[in-house]
Structure 1
């Protein structure tokens, strides 16, 4: 019987979208196959293995050490670029990542005597190149099938989020040759968009299949979507990266909107949900004196996150610097909640295309456009004419992970 081994660099405790996506994929595949979902935990694992039907969850604790603690401290102090530089430098000198899931899985294999066979499938997901290396080495050792999954183009396209030009150069210089070998070994290559597929080397483009991001259909109670009667809530979901804050047009416009129309905090709120680690965001809020109008919450389980989204009046997305090819899971969550999306500054790329093609909201370019739009939407909200984008059940389902997982299942059946 074909088994599938899915590997995630991130663990459950991170509340990372990447982890949730791979868990959802594992759960879907377990309806037809025995699935072993292997993921790294930065905290000590209390329950080593969890079995639910045909799904075996295998959390593996990363062995703590000096570099682990240094990396954590850099992240906690908002020094993400230094943390990334540490990862790349460590990889250059050791050929491993600081949080090395491959080493932890090798220990697990020796303890359990688990055997991977040529009938089995290994599914490994970027952005961790070491995870791709692990998948490639398992294929060479056991002759199994290999699926490489890319949530971003890695060494083949735009610089990773918050990479400096130096970091991007070092990443491509040291890692590209190895990743090309991984591509050569792959039986199936998947990525999340046509835009990213077009960034792959010409030799491999036709082999790359698109399995888009999507929201988790099982986690939303559509009956709870409502309009908050007293407050116009503009909600941003998930991490905010420094690259998204280089352009401050949105914050200038919000300050102008508040001053020009004497907007009181009890009537207008911006909620950043799951964004508390962004020091630059907090600095911008302070510099524009927006503290009474904003709240920032910690990362949390997605079910808790959605309690904020149910009563949103509008959703906020911020472009990712000069990158045009990024479309994240939050975009599909916004689409599913059927409230308009505001993109304050046009990315001239995938976000603009998604909003316009799905008639899903507003794409602006100037402070004046943002101010006038917000005033119009606020007036309608309090005149009992809140904006709602009505969609059919079929349309809503097509934005979901589950719809995309059906496509992935068919691709795996063909291996």
Structure 2
């Protein structure tokens, strides 16, 4: 019979494996060993070469339906400068608080899931459904050789789950406040306008690219993109940089560039926004360059049985009715949504990426109980 595993001890152990993105792999080796002892079949799936080489892990226990997957990442952001009251990779617990890089984003959630699984298996050694983990080592980085690649492998090997829970820290201040059921899409664009350099006193001999760029940006920002939709707030276009590189006061520059980002809802696609920006830009500067990178499309998991099971698990354990939300930045859920329904629920994220990142042991216990209740409602 499986013995239940202590969540704070598991989280501390994971933190003690430094894993600045991309995780060099030791964290996942330790996690894989723990999962193997719980009866999981573990697959280590590294992708990429050289400095881009990224460790990934997929583990599954059982073959039946339904198939519930927990997704997350072992990589963390750099610890920054000094000032930590405990070392960022010590995994120290003091006065009921666990400190360390990744405590809330998101090694704590990974530990909570493993602890919840061990408790469920102690009660029900052979669940009716199957349980899996999809763990990447590059969520905090470019996200090119992580979850996307593992999902391709999962599809090729008939391992796509019926529902996936991502353990990102979703709660602003207290456990049970928010379940993320979608995210806005994100597109980054660089517009480069070329003109003709010249003396400011003789503008007829030059072509000022700054003026053309200002006209482009003015039109792009003149009106709101939309008023929002049923589940999403209005899309947002933000100019993040205007670069000319001109140190002289009497020279019309030869080139000007701007960068912008759009966080867009389900009324748009990245492709359509790219085409719109290109059309507006070429109206004012026909030979300009418009380079776009779509980080992810918007996605939404509409309320259904799986989401209701998660909502009820949160309510049962925390006593709160969680808000179903689509705000915030991007996460690896944007990749998972292409394959199966996905939602996010994790710890309180107030200290993520900060000096003295931390989580209370009480919140770790609460999250473990939520995951345990979800497992009982679905696969046990």
TM-score per shorter chain, which class?
A: under 0.3
Q: TM-score by structure 1 length?
A: 0.26
Higher helix share: 1
Identify the structure with bigger relative contact order (alpha carbons < 8 Å, sequence gap 6+): 2
Higher strand share: 2
Q: TM-score by structure 2 length?
A: 0.28
